[in-house]
Chains A and B, each alone.
Chain A
């Protein structure tokens, strides 16, 4: 177990380094001058050059890279070119919003998706199965921002139950009001994913010998489904949920914008528009760390649900 963790951590470091380098190069290849964008279009060339110098953008690329890497190793991700604030601070300030939204919608997805998938599998090729499969396909192919606007029109305008600006905090009620629509909008998509995987995994398990045995010896049908079959179908579901968590964080970009919530997505768009190099670099590190961490947790979860899986 320890050896496994050490190996995974070493691997994560390599991944991180590769991502850092890639991001460093990519953001600089893209045309666009941060100094010009900060000063606006009435600034003279001289003023722009002066700012480039202050931001260190006039240094040779190799030197900028060394500065960046040594800083990164010391845990210093630099300061945002736009706001002048430390990158890490800016990211950490909005990160909880994104994590909250992602987790709530994932839980929603699992709570809706797993029972729907199991139900569809049991009633294979019956009307209910078709209904579940079609609606999950619909959920997968529906663009998240369209769903978000429809939700707002229905539940914030036609029926004024929720606010359009979903960024309230303070009381539990305020939290509930501001998380519901965004979480539902994202949760429906993850539910669609989970439903489909659960259904196919369950179908496979249900045709196994031990399920027939369990039924033959008189185990109640419910127990067969939920205790024996689902337990064995969990591995692919966990894999998909783990993979999907990464996608979900990406999808949250649009959701955050439509529902006017703070979060990594908005930060990323702003940093891209302004060519805020340190901010982009810092954010990519955070994204990479999240994905690496989620993958690690997924691996650990395998061992937890299936003792036969040994982590070496």
Chain B
């Protein structure tokens, strides 16, 4: 008996220091089955973008935890200047920044290579963002000069630490070629260490990081596609931080767990109905207005959960540089809706078809919309298809009404261009996501894009939003925030309100408090 007690005591003594040692390893659970292509210039999904953002820097960055371009601050570039026309940008790089795994100092040559690579459609998903770039040069080892064909609204955002703005190391990219995505090399606080297919990616601290060695030693980024399994692994303590299931019930349930912090972060994705203004019966503006009047945004937000969603304010997401926070949207008015429908020649109601994804969050929304439209006599005929099929079919103009949920770089120009500029109309070679065939605000969108007068630019964007709302190219509904949870013993090291890379930034300051 004595021996047993002694044994227990000695085990307790041996393990005690371990239990109290500060935790240095962060384990994150992400809702996807596997890594995609780990190349910052190609990655476009939430799981890939978040992970990559911990490994890379931009020339500038948006302060961790913020999403608005007003928080832009130095990153790899210490300072920058531009000519008054906004067409020539000169960046002075920080000296002595080291690329991961001994690939040498990050210099202007790397930055030039990186921006050229991000502008090339063969190597980048974001080549469109750099279409105005005329020349990128390195006058000396620590100076980068970018010349634009025309001024670009919020240009600094394109060389920030997101999407094509992420800076990669030239020597590594040239040496590895196609294999770069297998071992991405950047300059960020964490470096790539190991990849186990369908299991995890492991990052280790970059001790030479120019802002100082990270407090965490490593990050394991686990791929756990089943929401319930991710929740259980978080509950059992195997995960320190998880990507949430995107609905209110998840928030309510998770917030009840002890020692857990739940956050709904920016950028929100805007849920909007795009009405094809060129096909019957939607070519009649009265039918489109009837739809807009029949949508009760307040009821939708109550249904989706007030803590994770909010009403749309304009035809583009709220809070972007240039968003009209009080755009003239149609109020909920069933009587007007019915009257307009009758006026348009459909006193007995009308049927409109939509091809829709089976993605849960989006599906519950379209079903709620269907119920609301029904009250006005509009019968929404929903054809449910799997997500990839949905993406293919809506790009072939097969769905007169398209429900789409998206967030973009928070400058009005990006959203307006992709969804409402007539160059982006589905079917054109320059097509992006203009499903409505909207062309009513081209002049304003294009003039604002190259305007160098901020006040005039804002006015143009405001007019564009008014025109689009009035023409009912889109019926904005609500905005969905990104949901995350982590142990409250994890101190991120900054105040988190949002992240353009869609995951909480893990910086050199992020650490466990116990």
Contact of B226 with A by CB under 8 A: yes
Q: Is B122 in contact with A50, judged by CB distance below 8 angstroms?
A: yes
Among residues of B, the one whose C-beta sits closest to the C-beta of A93 is B197
Contact of A297 with B by CB under 8 A: no
Checking A38, A156, A274 against B236 with a beta-carbon cut-off of 8 angstroms, the contacting residue is A156
Q: Is A39 in contact with B226, judged by CB distance below 8 angstroms?
A: no
Beyond A41-B432, A47-B127, A257-B33, 4 additional contacts (C-beta under 8 Å) are A33-B391, A45-B430, A84-B37, A157-B235
Residues 225-271 of B contacting A (Cβ, < 8 Å): 225-226, 228-229, 232-233, 235-236, 238-239
B-side residues, CB < 8 A to A, are: 33-37, 42, 44-45, 121-122, 125-128, 178-179, 181-182, 196-199, 222-226, 228-229, 232-233, 235-236, 238-239, 385-389, 391-393, 395, 406, 408, 418, 424, 427-433
Checking B36, B238, B392, B428 against A165 with a beta-carbon cut-off of 8 angstroms, the contacting residue is B238
Q: How far is the CA of A299 from the CA of B105 in the complex (A)?
A: 64
Contact with B along A240-276 (1 / 0, CB 8 A): 0000000000000000011110110011011001110
Q: How far is the CA of A184 from the CA of B137 in the complex (A)?
A: 62
Counting chain A CB atoms within 10 Å of each CB, which of B179, B225, B406 scores highest? B225
Q: Is A259 in contact with B229, judged by CB distance below 8 angstroms?
A: yes
Among residues of B, the one whose C-beta sits closest to the C-beta of A264 is B198
Chain B residues within 8 Å of A40, by CB: 44-45, 125
9 A-B residue contacts at CB 8 Å?
A41-B432, A42-B418, A46-B121, A82-B37, A83-B181, A84-B181, A160-B236, A165-B229, A266-B198
Among residues of B, the one whose C-beta sits closest to the C-beta of A43 is B125
Q: Is A37 in contact with B391, judged by CB distance below 8 angstroms?
A: yes
Q: Is B196 in contact with A163, judged by CB distance below 8 angstroms?
A: no
Q: Is A44 in contact with B198, judged by CB distance below 8 angstroms?
A: no
Chain B residues within 8 Å of A94, by CB: 197-198
Q: How far is the CA of A273 from the CA of B36 in the complex (A)?
A: 12
Q: How far is the CA of A156 from the CA of B178 in the complex (A)?
A: 41
Q: Is B229 in contact with A260, judged by CB distance below 8 angstroms?
A: yes
Checking B196, B406, B408 against A262 with a beta-carbon cut-off of 8 angstroms, the contacting residue is B196
Among residues of A, the one whose C-beta sits closest to the C-beta of B433 is A41
Q: Is B226 in contact with A260, judged by CB distance below 8 angstroms?
A: yes
Among residues of B, the one whose C-beta sits closest to the C-beta of A97 is B198
Shortest distance between the CB of A274 and any CB in chain B (Å)? 7
Q: Is B406 in contact with A41, judged by CB distance below 8 angstroms?
A: yes
Contact of A62 with B by CB under 8 A: no
Q: How far is the CA of A274 from the CA of B197 in the complex (A)?
A: 16
Q: Is B232 in contact with A164, judged by CB distance below 8 angstroms?
A: yes
Checking B228, B395, B427 against A258 with a beta-carbon cut-off of 8 angstroms, the contacting residue is B228
Contact of A36 with B by CB under 8 A: yes
Among residues of B, the one whose C-beta sits closest to the C-beta of A90 is B197
Shortest distance between the CB of B94 and any CB in chain A (Å)? 29
Among residues of A, the one whose C-beta sits closest to the C-beta of B48 is A40
Q: How far is the CA of A30 from the CA of B390 in the complex (A)?
A: 11
Shortest distance between the CB of A61 and any CB in chain B (Å)? 17
Chain B residues within 8 Å of A269, by CB: 33, 225
Q: Is B431 in contact with A41, judged by CB distance below 8 angstroms?
A: no
Q: Is B222 in contact with A47, judged by CB distance below 8 angstroms?
A: no
Lowest 9 A-B CB distances belong to which pairs?
A40-B44, A32-B388, A262-B198, A45-B431, A164-B233, A31-B389, A270-B33, A47-B121, A31-B392
Q: Is A39 in contact with B232, judged by CB distance below 8 angstroms?
A: no
Chain A residues within 8 Å of B429, by CB: 44-46, 49
Q: Is A165 in contact with B225, judged by CB distance below 8 angstroms?
A: no
Among residues of A, the one whose C-beta sits closest to the C-beta of B180 is A84
Contact of A152 with B by CB under 8 A: yes
Checking B178, B198, B424 against A263 with a beta-carbon cut-off of 8 angstroms, the contacting residue is B198
Q: Is A84 in contact with B178, judged by CB distance below 8 angstroms?
A: yes
Among residues of A, the one whose C-beta sits closest to the C-beta of B398 is A31
With contacts A157-B232, A266-B34 known, is A257 near B178, CB below 8 A? no
Chain B residues within 8 Å of A39, by CB: 42, 44, 125
Checking A33, A47, A165 against B224 with a beta-carbon cut-off of 8 angstroms, the contacting residue is A165
Chain A residues within 8 Å of B428, by CB: 45
Q: How far is the CA of A40 from the CA of B225 in the complex (A)?
A: 19
Q: Is A47 in contact with B37, judged by CB distance below 8 angstroms?
A: no
Shortest distance between the CB of A168 and any CB in chain B (Å)? 10
Contact of A54 with B by CB under 8 A: yes
Checking B33, B181, B222, B388 against A37 with a beta-carbon cut-off of 8 angstroms, the contacting residue is B388
